[in-house]
Amino acid sequence: MTELIPLLLFLTVCLVLMAGYPVAFSLAGTALAFGLIGELTGYFDSAFLQALPNRLYGIMTNVTLIAVPLFVFMGVMLERSKVAENLLDTMAEVFGQLRGGLGYSVTIVGMLLAASTGIVGATVVTMGLLSLPTMLRHGYDPRIASGVICASGTLGQIIPPSIVLVLLGDVLSTAYQQAQLDMGIYATDTVSVGDLFTGALIPGLLLVSLYLVWLAFVAWKHPEAMPAIKHQPSTAATGSLAQRVLRGLLPPLLLIFAVLGSILAGIATPTEAASVGAVGAILLAASRRRCTLSIFQEVMRSTTRITCMVFLILIGASVFSLVFRGFGGDVVVAELLNNLPGGRLGAMLAVMLLMFMLGFVLDFIEITFVVVPIVGPVLLAMGIDPVWLGIMIALNLQTSFLTPPFGFALFYLRGVAPAGVSTRQIYAGVAPFIGLQLLMLLMLALWPKIATWLPDFVYQN
């Protein structure tokens, strides 16, 4: 009977969240209610909650988590400075004369925005508002248009600097150290956000390549679904187009190289690189005359709201984690995963399936703060590479965010799509991209070096 209490706690939290209550208060409130009942019935020792002040102090002094508000600020500032609009216009001029050119443009811009902002919801909404009407106006099949926008908008999950990877890096670092201590290893190794950023580069670029290859195939097989833009360039287009491309692409590319390059070269930590990105976003907005006082105040307010939400959820998750462990939930999960058929493979499949299903109803922040600390130490104690595990989780969550009927990206696009685009067309449009996501997950499962080779090479592990 006692073993069922942690599972009942987890199930109750999921049901409360599905009912629409605020995440942070649902996590903490449900956990405290179970703790109180457990204290009165003798199943829970309230001494576990005495560790909460140390947990909160650790959150407050965590240098890694400082990167979260900085990256959020960078993304919001770039969104307000109309970088996406300029990039789409530029790429449409470059690829528009090709069949499927607008699809290629949206995919490439989605990749660049992912590397610039890392905020999935903002990217999908921005791309939906800017590119979907244009694609439909030029005769694109609504299914193709909505599918490529949703898929490219979720690239912020996997392409660094991703806020998902920042949070995952912090949680996996703690889980990895705990797993080593449980195995009697006291000279512990560490895994950093920089390791995950580096490990995500090749899988992210491979995923973008799969998108582009698929779009090229559809444009060849069904040219009527992805027609070229029917207009001729002006006689002076060569020089002016080159200048427009340079003006549109160079600033965001320089910002991306400044952020990621400083991390890969070992010049800066991810937190320091985030500050470089924030300052670079301000300079980029100022160069476009879009850094007025009102815009700056709006960006600061938006950054504060998002950051407060993230850290309040983290505090709620800390309360949940303490109560869950107080009921012996970590032992129950460890026994459950260790006793699954297939050993390490069976445990990994079970966790991936659980996270995929939870991705329908929970945001990545809740899954990262609640689920990963529970299952992470168990999987890592089985000898699973922490970088590979982190990239698999990020890709898995990205896939679930695309999958009908509950994928978050689908709801984001549905909210801004024209009335002429039906929900069924959006669902049909993302289906091929879900297949490509699953193919990427399979490739990563079969060849873990896709994620681990570059970090080993860069950091000489």
The one-letter amino acid at 431? A
pLDDT, tens digit (0-9, with 9 covering 90-100), for 176-185? 888 888 777 7
Taking residues 142-149, report their average pLDDT.
91
Residues 6+ apart with CB under 8 A from 296: none
Task: Give residue for tokens 């005359």.
Answer: 289
Looking at residue 461, its pLDDT comes to 60
Domain boundaries, the chain: 4-459
Name which of 41-55, 137-151, 222-236, 321-335 the model is least confident about. 222-236
Q: What is the mean pLDDT of residues 54-65?
A: 84
pLDDT interval class at 451 (50, 70, 90): very high
List pLDDT tens digits, range 219-231. Answer: 999 888 888 876 5
pTM of the model: 0.83
Q: If you write DSSP's letter for every residue of 134-184 in order, what string do you get?
A: HHHHTT--HHHHHHHHHHHHGGGGTSSS-HHHHHHHHHHHHHHHHHHHHTT
Contact 123, 114 (CB under 8 A): yes
C-alpha 121/C-alpha 413 separation (Å) is: 9
217 pLDDT exceeds 90? yes
Residue with tokens 């919001």: 76
DSSP string, 186-203: -S-----HHHHHHHHHHH
Residues sharing a CB contact under 8 Å with residue 399, sequence separation 6 or more, in sequence order: 356, 359, 434, 437, 438, 441
State the alpha helices, DSSP H only, in 265-326: 270-287, 293-326
Helix extents (H) in 184-292: 193-221, 237-264, 270-287
Residue 234: per-residue pLDDT: 43
Gyration radius from the chain CA atoms: 23
Of 362, 368, 313, nearest in space to 18 by CA: 362
Q: What's residue 148's pLDDT?
A: 92
